[in-house]
């Protein structure tokens, strides 16, 4: 049976929101050559983030150096950090506490266990996150990035298999989200590369590389580790009643220092 920590239970109880999924007609570049499910590794299942990962709060590990930021990013990061530390509840200035879509990779660090379900379909891999039930579509049918897509919260994701690894390439993200709980900024030039690999029956790793020449002098990132939870199901974990966020304890909700 699935068990939550008391902090996680409080978090689930205090979050409550719905979101709409909008269909749209899009134009894609590149040929469509789907890799069939039969000849690809199986990443499906419900996964929970394991302790000891190095991301996506990449700098929660004090041994990991700060990424090399451009002057613009340094200024933005300074403003964010000052807003977080200005008052005992300054951490509530994180946009996710106002139910703003978190984007990728921020969504991996919303709740305490980073719970998500992966579903593989012909030509697509779906990530369904427990938080707000966000659905991320990763197209594996050979298409290129959508040339007509405006910048979005979750970006445009395409994937391909390289041996036992699903390589996901994401572009077209807007600049309204932050990369992690610490508040590292990014621009609309964000280019995200994720490498999903099932290293054993019960373990999944996601290596994340962040490229953003407007914000960082060189690529940086980290690795997530997930454990398979075959007996779990996605619970209702919503974000609507944001005025109750101030009831969280500082220890359970504030970003890492």
40-44, 97-101, 253-257: which range is least confident on average?
Answer: 253-257
Nearest to 222 by CA among 75, 94, 105, 68: 105
Domain co-membership, 20 together with 89: no
12 and 76 co-located in one domain: no
In this structure, of 203-207, 234-238, 251-255, the range with the lowest mean pLDDT score is: 251-255
CA 112/CA 253 separation, integer angstroms: 9
Domain match, 29 and 86 both: no
Given a cut of 90, is residue 103 above it in pLDDT? Answer: yes
pLDDT-derived band at 97 (thresholds 50, 70, 90) equals confident
Are 98 and 8 in the same domain?
no
Same domain for 17 and 119? no
Same domain, 165 and 230: yes
Average model confidence (pLDDT) for the chain? 80
Instruction: Say yes or no: 35 and 52 in one domain.
Output: no
11 and 138 in one domain? no
pTM value is 0.78
Within 8 A by CB and 6+ apart from 100, the residues are 176, 177
Give the pLDDT confidence of 28-79 residue by residue, as tens digits.
Answer: 444 445 555 667 899 999 999 876 555 556 545 545 678 999 999 999 999 9
Which residue has better confidence, 241 or 153?
153
Angstrom distance (rounded) from CA 11 to CA 65 = 30
Q: Is the pLDDT of residue 121 over 90?
A: yes
Q: Which residue segment(s) compose the domain that 153 sits in?
A: 45-253
- In Å, what is the CA distance from 212 to each residue of 101, 204, 222? 20, 26, 15
Same domain, 144 and 20: no
Please indicate, yes or no, whether residues 8 and 112 belong to a single structural domain of this protein: no
Residue 145: what pLDDT? 95
The residue ranking higher by pLDDT, 203 or 62, is 203
Mean pLDDT value across residues 12-20: 35
> What band does 14 get if pLDDT is binned at 50, 70 and 90?
very low
pLDDT of residue 176: 94
Number of domains, the chain: 2
Tell me what the mean pLDDT of segment 201-230 comes to. 94
β-partners of residue 156 are: 171
235 pLDDT higher than 60: yes
At 175-192, the pLDDT tens digits run 999 999 889 999 999 999
Lowest mean pLDDT among 50-54, 128-132, 211-215: 50-54
Asked if residue 17 and residue 91 are part of one domain, the reply reads no
Co-location of 24 and 57 in the same domain: no
């Amino acid at each position: 049976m699935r068990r939550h920590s008391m902090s996680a239970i409080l978090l689930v109880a205090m979050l409550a929101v719905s979101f709409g999924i909008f269909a749209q007609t899009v134009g894609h570049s590149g040929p469509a050559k789907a890799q069939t499910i039969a000849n690809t590794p199986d990443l499906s299942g419900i996964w929970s983030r394991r302790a000891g990962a190095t991301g996506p709060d990449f700098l929660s590990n004090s041994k990991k150096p700060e990424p090399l930021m451009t002057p613009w990013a340094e200024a933005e990061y300074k403003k964010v950090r000052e807003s977080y530390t200005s008052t005992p509840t300054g951490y509530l200035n994180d946009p996710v506490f106002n139910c703003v879509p978190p984007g990728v990779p921020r969504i991996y660090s919303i709740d305490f266990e980073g719970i998500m379900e992966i579903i593989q379909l012909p030509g697509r891999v779906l990530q369904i996150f427990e938080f707000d039930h966000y659905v991320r579509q990763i197209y594996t049918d050979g298409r290129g990035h959508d040339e007509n897509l405006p910048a979005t919260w979750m970006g445009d994701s395409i994937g391909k298999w390289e041996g036992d690894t699903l390589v996901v390439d994401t572009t077209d993200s807007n600049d309204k989200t932050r990369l992690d709980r610490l508040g590292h900024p990014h621009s609309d030039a964000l280019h995200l590369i994720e490498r999903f690999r099932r290293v054993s029956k019960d373990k999944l790793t996601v290596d994340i590389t962040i490229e953003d020449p407007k914000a960082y002098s060189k690529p940086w990132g980290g690795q997530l580790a997930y454990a398979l939870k075959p007996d779990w199901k996605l619970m209702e974990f919503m974000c609507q009643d944001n005025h109750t966020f101030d009831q969280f304890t500082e220890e359970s909700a504030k970003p890492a220092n």
